[in-house]
């Protein structure tokens, strides 16, 4: 791991912010294109939370999130990528088209000709009244991603916490795995009669009372509902609170995000600005490891070719 001192102002070809699946794939590709590439990350990849993913192709027995990140980091470093653990606080364009300058929390700066933002999202977490949050995720009592692990909860008693359309859609999705899916409101149900009818027709139960307590235990998630004497037990609970894109750095470069802070889908292929690409969860779309891998590879290749073009290293007819 490289460390940078304040004011160093080191210059590289490409800076990648983020060492999750997207950033590390981009780093591997760029290192193999013989670019001087540095990955700066603040140690908060969501993949580090994955207890065991079973939908990453090539790992039929599953792979533990931290193992995947460790393997991917080693792989990129083996080909010459540098990894630095630090928070990037600021990104700005340099004058005269000289690329970008990033300022780290330590005050150190990095100058780069190109930039890939692979900064991910922040999961909006459920607050437990008892039980350890991370242990509950690890044991499967608390889950955040039906696409990732709904399969593992086939035929179980599943609760979805969230009373809006997002929660309803998640409950309906989980219905393909289990007959026993209940949508429970955090505060009050915010669904139209038509939406309630659709849920009823698909066999999703809706509880009307407000949730008072969430207790994660080894025996499951106990949910106390206003007006009910006993808590209800579920095998697993999916909070449907969505996530918040970590797109502050993109916003520093211009009005590049939508009102929800999402970066447009085309950012991994067409770029955001000349010399700036984004990849992975931070851009609009499906938040999955496989998607992040593909987008990281694409962003890296497009940026590499853009730099070649700047340097006159492509066939004129290729442009
Ligand atoms: C509990 C859980 C289980 C999941 N299970 C699965 C699964 O089974 N299968 C699957 O496909 N997906 C799963 N996912 C989703 C998967 O983790 C993400 O899709 C994947 O990690 C996205 O990769 P990414 O590189 O885009 O972002 P991330 O992996 O989140 O990485 C973002 C990186 O950006 C860095 N960063 C952000 N801002 C800054 C900054 N200002 N300065 C420095 N660094 C910064 C972070 O430190 C991090 O390194 C799961 C997610 C969760 C939460």
Full residue range of the structural domain in which residue 107 is found: 10-122+243-318
In a domain? residue 1: no
Q: Is residue 2 over pLDDT 60?
A: no
A 10 A CB-CB count for 242 gives 15
Q: pTM here?
A: 0.95
**Does the beta carbon of 47 lie inside 6 Å of ligand 1?**
yes
Mean pLDDT score, 2-14:
63
Q: Which of 29, 113, 19 minimizes the C-alpha distance to 71? A: 19
| Location of structure tokens 């698909």 | 202
A 10 A CB-CB count for 86 gives 20
- pLDDT for position 167: 93
- For a mutational test of ligand 1's pocket, the pick from 27, 40, 47, 65, i.e. the residue with the most ligand atoms closer than 8 A to its C-beta, is 47
Q: Catalogue the long-range contacts made by 87-96 (C-beta closer than 8 Å, 24 or more residues apart).
A: 87/42, 88/17, 88/40, 88/42, 88/249, 90/249, 90/252, 91/17, 91/115, 91/249, 91/252, 91/253, 92/252, 92/253, 93/253
Of 206, 239, 272, which marks where a domain is finished? 239
pLDDT tens for residues 134-172? Answer: 999 999 999 999 999 999 999 999 999 987 889 999 999
Same domain for 42 and 96, yes or no, is: yes
pLDDT tens for residues 124-137? Answer: 999 999 999 999 99
Total domain count for the chain? 2
In a domain? residue 47: yes
Of 216, 239, 262, which marks where a domain is finished? 239
Q: Is residue 62 over pLDDT 90?
A: yes
- pLDDT for position 212: 92
- pLDDT for position 9: 60
Q: Which of 120, 25, 124, 38 minimizes the C-alpha distance to 68? A: 25
H-helix segments, 178-247: 193-202
Of 192, 216, 239, which marks where a domain is finished? 239
A 10 A CB-CB count for 291 gives 18
- pLDDT for position 221: 98
- pLDDT for position 1: 46
- pLDDT for position 7: 45
Same domain for 289 and 212, yes or no, is: no
**Does the beta carbon of 150 lie inside 6 Å of ligand 1?**
no
Same domain for 254 and 195, yes or no, is: no
Which pLDDT band, with edges at 50, 70 and 90, does 95 fall under? confident
Give the domain CATH number at 167: 3.50.50.60
* CA–CA dist 254, 193 (Å, integer): 42
Same domain for 116 and 256, yes or no, is: yes
**Does the beta carbon of 250 lie inside 6 Å of ligand 1?**
no
Least confident residue range of 39-43, 160-164, 186-190, 310-314: 186-190
- For a mutational test of ligand 1's pocket, the pick from 2, 148, 251, 279, i.e. the residue with the most ligand atoms closer than 8 A to its C-beta, is 148
Same domain for 110 and 165, yes or no, is: no
Q: Is residue 261 over pLDDT 50?
A: yes
Please state, in angstroms and as integers, the Cα–Cα distance from residue 309 to each residue in 93, 125, 169, 312, following that order: 19, 44, 45, 5
* CA–CA dist 255, 148 (Å, integer): 32
Same domain for 209 and 157, yes or no, is: yes
In a domain? residue 255: yes
Q: Which two tokens stand for residue 157?
A: 């008693």
In a domain? residue 3: no
Which pLDDT band, with edges at 50, 70 and 90, does 315 fall under? confident
DSSP state of 108: -
Same domain for 95 and 198, yes or no, is: no
Please state, in angstroms and as integers, the Cα–Cα distance from residue 67 to each residue in 1, 44, 54, 143, 163, following that order: 17, 14, 13, 20, 35
In a domain? residue 18: yes
Same domain for 130 and 201, yes or no, is: yes
In a domain? residue 28: yes
Same domain for 171 and 219, yes or no, is: yes
**Does the beta carbon of 136 lie inside 6 Å of ligand 1?**
no
Same domain for 100 and 185, yes or no, is: no
* CA–CA dist 162, 127 (Å, integer): 13
Same domain for 104 and 76, yes or no, is: yes
* CA–CA dist 67, 201 (Å, integer): 42
Q: Is residue 6 over pLDDT 70?
A: no
Q: How large a percentage of the chain has pLDDT more than 70?
A: 96
Which pLDDT band, with edges at 50, 70 and 90, does 303 fall under? very high
In a domain? residue 2: no
Listed in sequence order, the residues at least 6 apart from 93 whose beta carbon sits closer than 8 Å to its beta carbon are: 99, 100, 101, 253
How does the average pLDDT of the chain come out, rounded? 94
In a domain? residue 95: yes
**Does the beta carbon of 91 lie inside 6 Å of ligand 1?**
no
Same domain for 185 and 248, yes or no, is: no
Mean pLDDT score, 52-58:
97
* CA–CA dist 149, 65 (Å, integer): 13
């Amino acid at each position: 791991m490289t460390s940078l001192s304040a004011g160093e102002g080191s210059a590289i070809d490409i800076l990648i912010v983020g060492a999750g699946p997207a950033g590390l794939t981009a780093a591997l590709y760029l290192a193999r294109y013989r670019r001087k590439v540095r990955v700066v990350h603040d140690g908060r990849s969501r993949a580090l939370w994955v207890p065991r993913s079973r939908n990453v192709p090539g790992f039929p027995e599953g792979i533990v999130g931290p193992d995947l990140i460790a393997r991917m980091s080693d792989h990129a470093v083996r080909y010459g990528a540098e990894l630095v653990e630090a928070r990037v606080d600021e990104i700005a364009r340099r004058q005269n088209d000289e690329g970008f300058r990033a300022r780290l929390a330590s005050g150190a700066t990095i100058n780069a000709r190109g930039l890939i933002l692979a900064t991910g999202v922040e999961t909006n977490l459920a607050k437990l009244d008892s039980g350890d949050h991370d242990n509950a995720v690890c044991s499967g009592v608390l889950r955040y991603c039906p696409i990732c692990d709904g399969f593992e909860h086939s035929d179980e008693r599943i609760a979805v916490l969230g009373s809006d359309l997002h929660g309803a859609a998640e409950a309906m999705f989980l219905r393909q795995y289990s007959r026993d899916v209940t949508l429970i409101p955090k505060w009050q149900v915010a669904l139209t009669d038509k939406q309630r009818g659709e849920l009823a027709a698909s066999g999703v139960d809706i509880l009307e009372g407000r949730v008072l307590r969430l207790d994660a235990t080894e025996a499951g998630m106990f949910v106390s509902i206003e007006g009910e004497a006993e808590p209800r037990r579920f095998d697993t609970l999916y909070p449907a609170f969505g996530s918040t894109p970590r797109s502050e750095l993109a916003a520093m470069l211009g009005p590049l995000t939508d009102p929800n802070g999402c970066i447009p889908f085309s950012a991994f292929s067409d770029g955001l600005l000349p010399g700036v690409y984004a990849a992975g969860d931070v851009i609009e779309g499906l938040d999955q490891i496989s998607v992040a891998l593909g987008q990281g590879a694409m962003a890296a290749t497009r940026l590499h070719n853009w730099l070649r073009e700047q340097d006159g290293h492509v066939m004129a007819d290729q442009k």
